[in-house]
Amino acid sequence: MKKITTHLMRILCLTRPTRSLSIIIINLFKNKKNDIQFQNDLKIIHDKESILKEINDIGFSSNIDIPKELLNEIISYAKNAIFKEQIGDNSFSIDYLNPINPSNSLWYGNHEIMNDCNALQKIIFNKDILNICEEYFGSKPRLIGSHCWWSFPPDDIEIHHQYGFHYDIDSFKFLKIFIYLNNVDIETGPHEILIGTHKKKSFKEKLNRRLSDAAVKDSDKYDNSVCKTGPKGTMFFEDTFSYHKGNTPKKPRLMLQIEYTI
């Protein structure tokens, strides 16, 4: 049943009229007990309106300044966390200062951080962040979840297909927050988004959630992109219904993700 529901949602999301109608119906009939109720007033967002405008216009926000004490606490958690390999059941402790791939996976994730890290909870339930989500959705947000993960360079080829452009269909409308937990330069697999692709998609794009780098390079349609580098603590919103990717890293990257939905 869950698979059928997921496939139906993905079909309805692929045209603007059916997606918009689905959002209206969900907002009318959803169980409001699942909406986020608790909020804190910690000042994280300094220009809420400009961030919301950027998300609406280009699918991506500018930097948000995460308080240094929260960042340090989150990194401290990550230094002592256990990460599970992407494929398989093995778990590992990964040295933050000298991260070495402990197995054959490209990614190692930790899904316990949301429950175990108080600093992250202060970000997740921040009033201004939740207000941005509410205005973007047209209803109070729900939390899908949060996790952090290490990305490692592939051994075999320069560009790995699992690091290619794609878009997400996690719900009828959703937003993600990304936070770099180590310094990310052009060799550390920076996140890249094709600007404006959250608004509409061609019939071909509706049938293909993935785009090759060659297809992006050969089309004038994808001229505008943002490749986001920055120091640890770099934080941004994104509607990942846009085409996006993590570039193939040559050095390990540690990323945190928070996701909200209608």
Give residue 1's pLDDT. Answer: 54
Q: Quick one: tokens of 116?
A: 């175990």
Cα angle value 62/144/174 (rounded, 5°): 45
CATH topology classification for 33-261: Jelly Rolls (2.60.120)
Question: What interhelical angle do 2-13 and 16-29 show, nearest 10?
Answer: 130
- Residue 34 is predicted with a pLDDT of 62
Residues ≥6 apart with Cβ < 8 Å to 218: none
CA neighbor of 230 nearest in space, from 52, 62, 59, 58: 62
Angle between helix axes 127-137 and 48-58 (nearest 10 degrees) is 40
Residue pair 137/173 in contact (Cβ under 8 Å)? The answer is: yes
Q: How many residues does the chain have?
A: 262
Q: What angle do CA 177, 51, 136 make, to 5 degrees?
A: 75
Q: 240: how many CB neighbours lie within 10 A of its CB? A: 22
DSSP 149-162: EEE---SS-SS-GG
CA distance 140 to 120: 20
SS3 assignment, position 25: helix
Contact between residue 131 and residue 48 where contact means Cβ atoms under 8 Å apart: yes
- Cα torsion angle, 168, 170, 174, 177, sign: negative
Q: Domains of the chain: which residue ranges?
A: 33-261
Element (H, E) at 98: none
pLDDT at 42: 85
* H or E segment and range at residue 196: none
| Secondary structure (3-state) at 262 | coil
Distance CA 53, CA 168 (A): 21
pLDDT by 10-residue block (mean), the chain, 262 residues: 56 67 69 68 88 94 87 97 92 96 92 94 94 92 94 73 83 94 97 92 84 86 90 95 93 97 90
User: Which alpha helices (H) appear in the chain, and where do they start and end?
Assistant: 2-13, 16-29, 48-58, 68-80, 113-116, 118-124, 127-137, 203-207, 213-218
Query: What phi and psi values does residue 155 have, to the nearest 5 degrees?
Result: -85, -30
What would the two tokens of residue 158 be?
């320069």
